[in-house]
Chain A
Amino acid sequence: MDQNLQTIFLIIVLAPLAAAAVVGLLMRFVPRAASHWLTIVGVGISCVLSLYVLWQMTFAGAGTENVTVYTWGIADGVHFQVGFLVDRLTALMISVVTFVSLMVHIYTIGYMHDDPGYKRFFSYISLFTFSMLMLVMSNNFLQLFFGWEAVGLVSYLLIGFWYTRPTAIYANLKAFLVNRVGDFGFLLGIALVLTYTGSLDYADVFAKAPALSGQTIQLFGAHVWAVPTVICILLFVGAMGKSAQVPLHVWLPDSMEGPTPISALIHAATMVTAGIFMVARMSPLFELSNTALSVVMVIGAITAFFMGLVGVVQNDIKRVIAYSTLSQLGYMTTALGASAYAAGIFHLMTHAFFKALLFLAAGSVIIAMHHEQDMRKMGGLRKYMPITYWTFVVGSLALIAFPGFSGFFSKDTIIDAVHESQRAGSGFAYWCVLLGAFVTALYTFRALFMTFHGKERFTIEAGHGHGHDDHGHHGLTHPPKESPWVVTLPLVMLAIPSVVIGWITCKAVLYGGYFGSAIYVSPSHHVMEKLGEEFHGSGAMVLASLTSPTLYIALAGVLVAWFCYIKRPELPGAIAQRSKFLYRMLANKFYFDEINAFFVAGGARALGTALWKGGDTAIIDGVLVDGSARSVRWFAGILRRYQSGYLYHYAFTMIIGLCALLGWLLLK
């Protein structure tokens, strides 16, 4: 039984890797159809087995599995190992990852149909699935870091998938570098863990965690810091990079340069939630530091509200959803900060389904519009593409937490948990997440209305006969049409959990102690327990929402969106005119990009040039190296004059010397 499970874990991880390797390395020899079949079968195997593991863990009473696969290396007595820790938290994560990945694989057949990089794309997304599984199944920090960087690598490759586009290759470099800033903190955090616990295995570290709480470290001057606080804040810096929290969020909107399937898989459903998962996994450490958790909560709340605001003024349909993802990641982070880890992970799961759905639906629209992403050139698409429309509606309702839809159960719980929390910063965070609900509804329905309702703002130029490659051209050669079944099937498959997953699992995941020992909450941080006392089932929760402010705040957002974009479409322009400062702040995304480009990128180049030209070239080479060569030549030049070879020079010198010597003797 255990042996079986261990074999299954290996297959889960290796099946996508094998498929990626075959398709990627033997690309020339693998036929086009084989590339998608191989990878789909690989990920399909992983998905089925993951669901089996989830079933075993949830219903068949299988316990936590902690297995070592091989020893990576032994340095100085520290065993670095590669292995799996699979408990219910992991089982849930691998099921979500492989399911969404499978849907995206199928969808890609349709979306990338005409792309010359078809095979390369399948190889990359399978490689991504492998990396993500390594990350979430790890039982130690080394493998966690491996997975962490590997997903970053694949994200880099996929954002820059269309490598001839200047914007894409700018975005992928930016994404990698910003993530490296986060990894900087992450790695230091891991190093501190090793320094203070002597191990990098989760089980060892967590067992020794309580002993950390009394220890202190001196960083600046005489002030001492609690070790858990420093460790957790550093680890969280890593999470801020990967899960795109302010101020390291800047890479995520730009990552939309990648093809839409990966926006759904990597930049919405899975990779960006790695930070959330990591913090939940590290709950035994984070629970030791109220300071660190306050930082987590406040950063999350700022991201949740302010990034949502930016989403309101975006016109690119993918960017709206991207800012929405930032905002929702902020919600998850806020939940972690409130010690409501279960709620954070629950929102991670529901969000994975409905956000992947929204992205893929947006992708379906983009195909129909011949790669036009500007919503100002859409409108009225509802009648052309009914399946896309209705699945988009489902995703939207889930996103705005409409009672009954999956997002409702997770997001309302987060808002309640933050309300309940007594931690420093929770007051601020509560207002952020509450007002965030209004903003969410506003941008979501703005996108829905601008895309699918109202007047058609595109023209159909019949009979012009320009080819498929005319992307970005405003006119379409034929009316937009519904996408093929490989595209719509995943939409429907994702729409189902977007509706029902909350109903079914809410009670167990949030209040039933589903995660067991996987998530540790200190008894004094019992936010979820308190909420649990008021919880009387999913149905009751839906009913109770009718009397809570959250629902009406969200409905107000929908109403405002309807008024501004359906009823009086001229209004938004007028508002933007009136409040220029606010509009400019939002349209320029609070100027984060400009500040980074100037200070960070410009600063690094200026410093590099100064050190090179000033340090290496001028001082070291100019003064010291060539300078010493020059001084040798100069000195030799002087010496040379004394060896002129003329007899009378020497004779004169001798006479002068003789005179001087005699004079000195006489005068003495």
Chain B
Amino acid sequence: MTAHFPILSVLLWLPIVGGLVVLAAGRVAPTSVRWLALLFSLVTFAVSLPLWTQFDTSTASMQFVENIPWISTFNVHYALGVDGIAMPLILLTTFMTVLVVIAGWEVIQYKLAQYMAAFLIMEGLMDGVFSATDGLLFYVLWEAMLIPMFIIIGVWGGPRRVYATIKFFLYTFLGSVFMLVAIIYMYVQSGSFDIQTFQQMPLGMTAQILIFVAFLLAFAVKVPMWPVHTWLPDAHVEAPTGGSVILAAILLKMGAYGFLRFSMPIAPDASQSLTWLIVALSLIAIIYIGFVAIVQADMKKLVAYSSVAHMGFVTLGFFLLFMIFGKTASVSGTAMGVEGGMIQMISHGFISGAMFLCVGVLYDRLHTREIKAYGGVINMMPAFAFFFVLFAMANCGLPGTSGFVGEWLVILTAMKANFWIAFGAAFTLFLGAAYSLWLVKRVLYGPVGNDHVADMKDISKREFLILGLCAIPVIVFGIWPAPLLDVMHASVMNLVHHVVQSKL
């Protein structure tokens, strides 16, 4: 227990309290709901900023730590802390929540207070997942997150929302049950739920393989990796815009974060021996899903599939580490892949969030996501077209946008491992451009497609604000990713050196 301001606890509980306040206000003063929600999300964002400004980039150990015994019978702690891997993800969470609140401003009319409350509570839980350093606390928050998301899709979703929510829930729940088994196993072995202890404890190969597979089931579903990805397009299609944004920008990152926090450091030997599997699944995600994305007729499905393909770069970048180490017996050149994967996570948060917001802007006007229903939108909405082209370009990894940085670093690293892996990964250059720009061509360009399009109004100031707020980090980190890389560096180096030590 330290005496400093408990910043991580505030990030966990403030939005949850805020959510309850908003719920209550919904009954008493419905008109104040929007402003209250905005206030809470802004304050939370402001509270999260010192995480960056006061962050010590020279150390890999946990910072801003808090630790209170929670259930002493089982040695469970309420323990929070962040390193260079978790910190940017928390900022991403608090930032995107502000956007989601603004994005739902006039759009959501049905049960507004509940909608805003769900997102605020979601925010607290997500912050908690990224900052929990106790295994059981992590698990509890991880599962708790399903509830608000389940409600968001189930209540404010589209016509097939029931199928989508059940698929989403069962898929992710099934995966994480195995994770619980693994966590309990390690508790029994070590007598502690502390994640750091898990990482340090010696484990035999069989145990490592079983633990790795158990975590893989939980994380692969969340990322999602091929072939357990099919819940994602369905969930996205049915989710309201805000739900899609949070799903794509933050929830998917949890799986990738799990690999770095649990799978790789806890079961390094298993990771080494199963690297081929993860690399193969990542390449399938990049190429197979890339082709699938091209032929989608529904805008949201297209963006959802492109998310899966981009997340393939994240897992590829992480596990190239083992491949290069296996080949050269040296850690030199391996961290670039991990850092590339992490940059890809952050960048994908902004870009996919922005893409879903763009689709939302269109949906709010014509109430359809069918690409066919649009055409020539640029004639009516030039300001919107500017943003849409910008984000589409970022989505296909144009240098100067953040979408480029991760792919660039991962492909450069892949070449160190194997020419053909880099070759496969580089397919994204063509596929990403094909699905993103063909979408742009069919939606934006051409003569005005029909009378409905002719009636479309350009983006409002509110919409301009949210798209502009997404555009800033996309461009800044595109031309200057150094700050992000600096923040991660010590933690990533520590991780790399840890995971190449055999636990056998």
Contact = CB atoms under 8 A, between A and B. Distances in A.
A612 interface: yes
Contacts of A74: 482, 485-486, 489
Contacts of B399: 142, 145-146, 149-150
B490 to A, nearest CB: 12
Given A149-B399, A184-B426, A169 B295 contact: no
Given A180-B433, A621-B230, A72 B482 contact: yes
Given A73-B485, A166-B446, A173 B437 contact: yes
A78 B288 CA distance: 31
Nearest to B489: A74
Contacts, number: 136
B430 A177 contact: yes
Interface string A607-624: 111011001100011001
Nearest to B289: A611
A150 B339 CA distance: 24
Interface string A166-177: 100110010011
Interface stretch (A190-198, A426-434, A546-554, A572-580): A190-198
A187 B432 CA distance: 15
Given A164-B376, A616-B292, A76 B336 contact: yes
Contacts of A612: 291-292, 295-296
Contacts of A188: 411, 415, 419, 422-423, 426
Given A73-B481, A76-B339, A164-B376, 19 more contacts: A73-B482, A73-B484, A76-B332, A76-B334, A149-B404, A153-B393, A176-B437, A177-B433, A187-B429, A188-B423, A191-B414, A192-B415, A217-B419, A608-B291, A608-B293, A611-B292, A615-B288, A620-B230, A621-B230
Interface of A: 70-78, 142, 145-146, 149-150, 153, 156-157, 160, 163-164, 166, 169-170, 173, 176-177, 180-181, 183-184, 187-188, 190-192, 194-195, 217, 219, 604-605, 607-609, 611-612, 615-616, 620-621, 624-625
B419 A176 contact: no
A199 B369 CA distance: 46
B398 interface: yes
B69 interface: no
A145 B399 CA distance: 8
Nearest to B301: A612
Contacts of A181: 430
Nearest to A192: B415
A602 to B, nearest CB: 11
Contacts of A73: 405, 480-482, 484-485
Contacts of A169: 441, 445-446
Interface of B: 167, 171, 227, 230-231, 288, 291-296, 332-336, 339-340, 376, 378-379, 389, 393, 398-400, 404-405, 408-409, 411-412, 414-416, 419, 422-423, 426-427, 429-430, 433-434, 437-438, 441, 444-447, 479-482, 484-486, 489
Contact of A164 (B171, B227, B231, B446): B446
B339 A72 contact: no
B482 A173 contact: no
A173 B438 contact: yes
Which 9 A-B pairs have CB atoms at the shortest separation, nearest pair first? A191-B415, A608-B295, A76-B336, A608-B291, A146-B399, A76-B335, A169-B445, A612-B292, A608-B294
A611 B295 CA distance: 10
A629 B332 CA distance: 47
Contacts of B295: 605, 608-609, 612
Contacts of B334: 76
A154 to B, nearest CB: 11
A380 B400 CA distance: 49
A181 B428 CA distance: 10
A605 B290 CA distance: 11
A104 B230 CA distance: 51
Contacts of B414: 191
Contact of A163 (B333, B405, B427, B444): B444
Given A176-B433, A608-B294, A78 B445 contact: no
Q: Is the interface of A mostly helix, strand, loop or mixed?
A: helix
Contact of B400 (A71, A146, A190, A616): A146
A187 B412 CA distance: 8
A615 B484 CA distance: 37
Contacts of B393: 153
B415 A195 contact: yes
Contacts of B376: 164
Contacts of B484: 73
A616 B416 CA distance: 32
A72 B476 CA distance: 11
Contact of A611 (B291, B400, B405, B446): B291
A184 B441 contact: no
Contacts of A625: 167, 171, 230-231
B294 A604 contact: yes
A190 B389 CA distance: 27
Nearest to A615: B288
9 contacts: A76-B332, A173-B441, A191-B411, A191-B412, A191-B414, A195-B415, A608-B294, A611-B292, A616-B292
A73 B408 CA distance: 12
A78 B408 CA distance: 13
A48 B437 CA distance: 37
A177 B434 contact: yes
A183 B429 contact: yes
A163 B481 contact: no
A194 B480 contact: no
A556 to B, nearest CB: 43
A292 to B, nearest CB: 17
A187 B336 contact: no
Contacts of A176: 433, 437
A183 B472 CA distance: 26
A61 B419 CA distance: 44
